[in-house]
């Protein structure tokens, strides 16, 4: 059976000046490349989407091949907060505290319908989307999303990480975003 | 012919010490001045100890009984005494009778200390 070449994504180097033994590019491209291929996630797995995440981290789907091999349950050492599962209103301040205690630069991915919008649980006790308490970068719809979809969301986060300006976390826009959530950095 | 070492032979050691110390100092100063504004990111909630997202209650430290410290420090003392016995044990024949009496004197000092702590009740684990 012949493998079709060109149908899978290869990792290309960023734009830069190439010469034998030398590659020169801008700092933010290099930093972005390094950051996006070494994201350490914080798996905030609550329910069914957490089980799908367990499958994603397993050998078959393997999120580790994108650099996310080392999960951290401490926000001090994590880059990406992956909220996977239904978040109750009681859990809202907890998620906010965990997000606040992450060090900049930090990103958030909402996996599943419940984290994105409350999902099927439109009730008095369920938070209708975690973007009510923390700023979210990528939403992955699904109930639950397949591991391939979770990986797709992760790839979108990688695009965001690779293209982020280095001074974005000091910018007024970011401060206003946080102030809107009452986080104040 | 015996090799004689003059103090100037140890100049490379001085150079290495200056380089090691200088590297540490320069790196710390450089990162302090060049690095990003960490102060801009401090808030009360960010600096609290990580308690899995819930509020922290009280102090993690609590007073504990002094007997743990006493046992540990007495162990260190008597362990060092045992270390001193090892060279004497190896050169037992060479040190002869003089070595024996000197070591008995050394042992006597420490046995006096041992008797003292027994009388004071420092080894009494149950209150």
Q: What confidence tens digit (pLDDT) does each residue in A100-144 have?
A: 999 889 999 999 999 999 999 999 999 999 999 999 999 999 999
How far does B35 lie from chain A, in Å, by closest CA?
13
Cβ-Cβ contacts under 8 Å, A76 against chain B: 50
pLDDT tens for each residue of B71-86: 999 999 999 999 999 9
What six digits make up the tokens of A104? Answer: 């900049």
pLDDT tens for each residue of A149-178: 999 999 999 999 999 998 898 888 998 999
Closest CA in chain A for residue B47: A101
- Is A112 a member of any domain? yes
Q: What is the pLDDT of residue B38?
A: 63
Q: What is the pLDDT of residue B61?
A: 85
Cβ-Cβ contacts under 8 Å, A174 against chain B: none
Closest CA in chain A for residue B54: A94
> Where does the pLDDT of residue B2 fall: very low under 50, low under 70, confident under 90, or very high at 90 and above?
confident
> Where does the pLDDT of residue A60 fall: very low under 50, low under 70, confident under 90, or very high at 90 and above?
very high
Close Cβ partners of B30 (under 8 Å, ≥ 6 residues apart): none
Closest CA to A95 of A113, A120, A77, A75: A75
Phi and psi of A70, rounded to 5°? -100, 105
3-state secondary structure of A104: coil
How far does B29 lie from chain A, in Å, by closest CA?
22
Close Cβ partners of A153 (under 8 Å, ≥ 6 residues apart): A109, A111, A138, A139, A140, A145
Close Cβ partners of A1 (under 8 Å, ≥ 6 residues apart): none
- Is A39 a member of any domain? yes
What six digits make up the tokens of A175? Answer: 């401060």
A101 and B40: CB-CB below 8 Å? Answer: no
What six digits make up the tokens of B88? Answer: 């004497």
Asked whether the predicted pLDDT for residue A19 surpasses 60, the reply is yes
Contact residues, A window 112-131, toward B, CB-based 8 Å cutoff:
none
- Is A172 a member of any domain? yes
3-state secondary structure of A109: strand
C-alpha separations of A79 from A57, B55, B61, B82 in Å: 17, 22, 30, 51
Q: What is the pLDDT of residue A1?
A: 47
CATH, residue A111: 3.40.50.12280
Q: What is the pLDDT of residue A185?
A: 62
How far does B64 lie from chain A, in Å, by closest CA?
29
Instruction: Enumerate the domain spans of chain B.
Output: 67-120
By Cβ distance, the residue of A74, A93, A185 closest to B50 is A74
Q: What is the pLDDT of residue A4?
A: 60
Q: What is the pLDDT of residue A5?
A: 61
Torsion of CA B13, B15, B20, B21, to 10 degrees: 110
| Cβ count within 10 A of residue A151 | 19
pLDDT tens for each residue of B16-61: 999 999 999 999 999 888 876 666 677 888 888 888 888 888 888 8
What six digits make up the tokens of B48? Answer: 């609290």
- The average confidence (pLDDT) of chain A is 90
Asked whether the predicted pLDDT for residue A2 surpasses 60, the reply is no
> Where does the pLDDT of residue A35 fall: very low under 50, low under 70, confident under 90, or very high at 90 and above?
very high
Cβ-Cβ contacts under 8 Å, A100 against chain B: 43, 45-46
Cβ-Cβ contacts under 8 Å, B37 against chain A: 170
How far does B41 lie from chain A, in Å, by closest CA?
6
Q: Are A131 and A99 within 8 A, CB to CB? A: no
Poorest-confidence range of A64-78, A122-136, B27-41, B97-111?
A: B27-41
Mean pLDDT across B88-104: 94
Q: What is the pLDDT of residue B50?
A: 86
Domain that holds residue A35: 29-180
Residue B50 contacts A where some CB pair is shorter than 8 Å: yes
Q: What is the pLDDT of residue A107?
A: 96
Count: domains in chain A: 1
By Cβ distance, the residue of B36, B37, B46 closest to A101 is B46
Among B41, B44, B53, the strongest candidate for a mutation testing the A interface, having the largest count of A CBs within 10 A, is B53
- Is A154 a member of any domain? yes
Phi and psi of A83, rounded to 5°? -95, 115
pTM score of the predicted model: 0.72
DSSP assignment letter at A19: E
């Amino acid at each position: 059976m012949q493998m079709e070449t060109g149908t899978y994504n290869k990792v290309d180097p960023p734009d830069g000046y190439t010469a034998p033994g030398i590659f020169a590019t801008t700092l933010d491209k290099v930093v972005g490349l390094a950051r996006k291929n070494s994201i350490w996630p914080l798996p905030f797995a609550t329910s069914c989407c957490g089980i799908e995440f367990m499958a994603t981290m397993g050998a078959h789907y393997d999120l580790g091949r994108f650099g996310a091999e080392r999960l951290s349950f401490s926000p001090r050492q994590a880059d990406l907060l992956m909220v996977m599962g239904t978040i109750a209103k009681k859990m809202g301040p907890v998620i906010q505290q965990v997000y606040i205690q992450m060090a900049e630069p930090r990103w958030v991915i909402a996996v599943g319908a419940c984290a994105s919008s409350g999902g099927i649980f439109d009730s008095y006790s369920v938070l209708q989307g975690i973007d009510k308490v923390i700023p979210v970068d990528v939403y992955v719809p699904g109930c639950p999303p397949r591991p391939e979809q979770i990986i797709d969301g992760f790839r979108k986060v990688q695009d965001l990480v690779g293209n982020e300006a280095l001074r974005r976390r000091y910018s007024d826009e970011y401060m206003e975003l946080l102030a809107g959530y009452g986080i104040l950095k | 012919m015996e090799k004689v070492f003059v103090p100037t032979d140890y100049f490379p050691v001085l150079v290495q010490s200056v380089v090691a110390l200088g590297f540490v100092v320069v790196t710390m100063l450089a990162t302090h001045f060049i690095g990003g504004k960490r102060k801009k990111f401090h808030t009360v909630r960010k600096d609290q100890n990580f308690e899995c997202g819930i509020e922290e209650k009280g102090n993690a430290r609590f007073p504990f009984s002094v007997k743990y410290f006493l046992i540990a420090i007495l162990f260190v003392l008597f362990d060092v005494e045992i270390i001193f016995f090892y060279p004497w044990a190896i050169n037992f024949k060479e040190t002869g009778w003089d070595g024996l009496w000197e070591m008995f004197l050394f042992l006597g000092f420490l046995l006096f200390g041992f008797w003292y702590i027994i009388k004071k009740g420092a080894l009494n684990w149950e209150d």
